Amino acid sequence: MSDHGPAKGITRWLYTTNHKDIGTMYLIFSLIMFFIGGSMALVIRSELMSPGLQFVHPEFFNQMTTMHALIMVFGAVMPAFVGLANWMIPLMIGAPDMALPRMNNWSFWILPVAFGILLSTLFMDGGAPASGWTMYPPLVLQTGDAFPFLIFSVHLMGISSIMGAINIIVTILNMRAPDMWLLKMPMFVWTWLITAYLLIAVMPVLAGAVTMLLTDQFFGTSFFLAAGGGDPVMFQHIFWFFGHPEVYIMILPAFGIVSEIIPTFSRKPLFGHDSMVYAASCIAFLSFIVWAHHMFTVGMPLTGQLFFMFATMLIAVPTGVKIFNWVATMWRGSMTFETPMLFSLAFVFLFTIGGFSGVMLAMVPADIQYHDSYFVVAHFHYVLVPGSIFGLFAGAYYWLPKWTGHMYNETAGKLHFWTSTIFVNMTFFPMHFLGLAGMPRRIPDYSTQFANFNEIASIGAIGFGVSQLIFVYVLLTSKKGAKATDRVWDEPKGLEWTVPSPAPYHTFETPPVKRVAEEAFE
Amino acid sequence: MKSENASLTARLVLFAAGMFVFGFVVLPPLYDVFCEVTGFGGRTNTTAQTAVEAPDLTREIRIEFVTTVNNYAPWQFAPAVDSMTVNPGKMYFATFTATNLSDESRTGQAVPSVAPVSATAHFKKIECFCFDSQEFSAQEQRSLPLQFIVDPDLPDYVDTITLSYTYFESNYVTRR
């Protein structure tokens, strides 16, 4: 049936509506952004290697912290998950392509423009945005020429994610193979369905908030200006109403990925599939009613503090359900430790550490001490780096043979895993101690008492950065390994393993028949 | 299939647009009303209020004054006393001093905020310089009066009220 292949040359990529091509572009784009954001992190860590100012001006340091966050959140983690969704969701549900292929092309090609604009602010008068990625007024209103470009790039990122999310929802709800009813869907598809709903619910709210910043700056409104009757605290409420669901947008698809991988390498079905679905939905619902735990120190009535504290702690319950289900899946399984499994195991273990420090931060009296300290930095890097990023690596190694048709270099993969895991802990674990001892975040200098832990963290960061080059090596040599079989691993479940390796340009042009679908899940 | 996709897409686009309207149009006035009703965010009266005087001499409340000048503008702005002890239901006067440090005439206005939240509705300003803006000639210094009553209905767990003023250049204020 594949009587026509992809077009030749650059137009293939510019005009493509093929979910595999678009998925590949998303993944490559996010890898490039991962390295750009990562080099900014290395500027930060080099500056913090020892007390005093050595390499950069404080203004530039602040630009680096802001840009590092914006690029990693919107440029690396989110597009990488969308890339995996594009590649895998049609294969996992037996659909020929995404439901809205032309919009799919748009939602990708907006991204390079958005990040071109954002990165160009580094060369503007007044430099790049330096107010932190949270863009709190009135500080953010002091941004130089970069300000309107920051707002427009956030608008574009939002439009891209909303279009991507709508596409994913329509694909999942309308294009599943016959007899794949909702609760039979693979976990990755489920978590992405929930994530996509979160995206269309909160990205427009962020767009509204930054639009208000824009009108405050240029059109004489006072949404956030106290002098004109506005309230800067309102921005924080609106921002975190977006921001808290956003952090689950960045972790739920990773939950889905490890829920695919752990059963394969434990050779057991996923324990409690349906409870996993309910837990993820529960987390998504709770994410909308906990936003003010980011703002305990800005002033709030006691009832408000208690409500947000208990609601936040409640999230540990469905998250705990997921952790225990993964552990129960492994229990008495016939486990092997290929690279995707290693990354998934590290995910379960290290994400839990990040979850625990999250529960500590949820407690109001403790949070008042931890707020804006390196403890917070340690917490969210533990959930984002060995959480989201390790989930992405696990997924990339797991599905890479299906994409290329060859096994990747397992030795290099394992080396990538071990160096990443050692260095990620070396970087972020000491930050817990720094935070508890009182080191504030987003400041380029510090008291000499913090010197030793900072030095360890900086060496770890450089090691982590260099380790990621091994991943590039694995990708560059990914077509040199042995031919992959269609099923690639030892009897993995799911429709994606019923198509040949590498997956042909067009798959499931006719929906899989019931028998194939059932075998894939037996 | 095609029309099913189109109608679901249309509904999802509508939902996203609705969320934008919710964030941009509905939330700010809603937040305003919420603050007015609860006193959240330190909202306090910016026009004159009246209060019945029925002094409760058995209770003493500490009032603290905090002043800030916005954006390092060339003003000096300070209370005559940092704090005072008052009885609820009794009228008190306080003075603040503002100085224009520049060599040109400027207009400024103070924006008040009261903490804790449970006290905001009970701190009543009868007369306050913060109700209007003040014009100062070059290097002029002036005292600014405040007249207030603490409502005897103040919850009994509140023993300290902080009144904070931020002094703004009036070009900020008139932007409203």
pLDDT per residue over B27-77, tens digit each? 999 988 888 777 777 777 777 777 666 788 888 999 999 998 887 788 899
CA distance A66 to A442: 9
Task: Say how many CB pairs under 8 Å bridge A and B.
Answer: 104
Q: How high is the pLDDT of residue A271? A: 95
Contact B22 A227 (CB under 8 A): no
Tally the residues of chain B: 176
- In single-letter form, the type of residue at position B121 comes to A
Cβ(B92)–Cβ(B7) below 8 Å: no
Task: Give the chain B residue whose CA is nearest to the CA of A222.
Answer: B176
Pick the residue from chain B with its C-alpha nearest to A225: B172
Strands B61-69 and B160-169, how do they pair?
A: parallel
Which residue does chain B place closest to A239, by CA atoms? B23
Put the strands of the sheet holding B91-100 in their side by side order: B75-79, B91-100, B141-150, B123-128
Per-residue pLDDT band for B117 (boundaries 50, 70, 90) equals: confident
* Summary mean pLDDT of chain B: 86
Q: Is A233 on the interface with B (CB under 8 A)?
A: yes
Q: Which residues from chain A sit within 8 angstroms of residue B24, using beta carbons?
A: 207-208, 211-212
A319 is catalytic: yes
DSSP B52-121: -----TT--EEEEEEEEEGGG-SEEEEESSSEEEE-TT-EEEEEEEEEE-SSS-EEEEEEEEEESGGGGG
| Closest partner CB to B8 (pick from A170, A220, A221) | A170
- Residue found under tokens 């602010």: A121
**Catalytic status, residue A322:** yes
Contacts A166 to B, Cβ<8 Å? 9, 12-13, 16
Q: Closest to B28 (Cβ–Cβ): which among A169, A175, A223?
A: A223
Give me the pLDDT at residue B176, please: 39
* Distance of alpha carbon A136 from alpha carbon A122, whole angstroms: 19
Contacts of residue A132, defined as CB under 8 A and 6 or more positions apart, other chains included, come to A62, A65, A66, A69, A139, A442
- Give 10-residue mean pLDDT values along chain A (522 residues): 68 91 96 97 96 94 96 97 96 94 95 97 94 93 94 96 96 90 93 97 96 93 84 93 96 97 96 95 96 91 92 96 97 96 97 96 95 96 96 97 96 97 97 96 94 97 97 95 93 91 91 68 58
Structure tokens at B137: 């000639």
Nearest of B174, B173, B175, B170 to residue B98 by alpha carbon: B170
Query: What type of residue sits at position A349?
Result: F
Say if CB A293 and CB A254 are below 8 A apart: no
Whether A469 contacts chain B with CB within 8 A: no
Is B157 an 8 Å CB contact of chain A?
Answer: no
Per the CB < 8 A criterion, the answer to whether A21 and A27 are in contact is no
Distances (CA, A) of B145 to A312, B52, B119: 45, 20, 21
Distance CA B160, CA B157 (A): 9
A174 shares contact with chain B (CB less than 8 Å): yes
B171 pLDDT above the threshold of 70: no
Q: Kindly list the strands in the beta sheet with B83-86, ordered across the sheet, starting from the edge strand earlier in the chain.
A: B83-86, B61-69, B160-169, B106-115, B134-136
| B47-B53-B55 Cα angle (round to 5) | 125
Q: Which helix (H) or strand (E) holds B164?
A: strand B160-169
Is the minimum CB–CB distance between B103 and chain A shorter than 8 Å? no
Is A166's CB within 8 Å of B31's CB? no
Determine which helix (DSSP H) or strand (DSSP E) holds B10, and give its type and residue range: helix B2-21
In angstroms, rounded to a whole number, what is the distance separating the alpha carbons of residues B129 and B98?
Answer: 11
pLDDT at A522 (0 to 100):
55
- Give dist(CA A67, CA A135) in Å, integer: 11
- The question of whether A294 is a catalytic residue gets the answer yes
A24 inside 8 A of chain B by CB: no
Nearest to B161 by CA among B113, B101, B116: B116
Both tokens of residue A172? 């999942």
Tell me the C-alpha distance between A259 and A256, whole Å: 5
Active-site residue among A107, A319, A357, A404?
Answer: A319
Question: Quick one: pLDDT at residue B151?
Answer: 87
Distance from C-alpha of B19 to C-alpha of B13, rounded to nearest angstrom:
10
Q: What is the pLDDT of residue B175?
A: 43
Tokens representing A161 are: 């994610």
pLDDT band at B128 (very low <50, low <70, confident <90, very high): confident
* Residue A161 is among the residues annotated as catalytic for this protein: yes
Nearest CA in chain A to B119: A301
The confidence score (pLDDT) of residue A248 equals 96
The sign of the CA dihedral A459, A464, A468, A471 is: positive
Q: Name residue A465's amino acid.
A: G
Q: Is the pLDDT of residue B173 over 70?
A: no
Is A97 catalytic? The answer is yes
Q: Please name the residue that has the structure tokens 């999310």.
A: A165
Distances (CA, A) of A284 to A25, A209, A250, A389: 28, 21, 12, 20
Q: Does A350 touch chain B (CB under 8 A)?
A: no
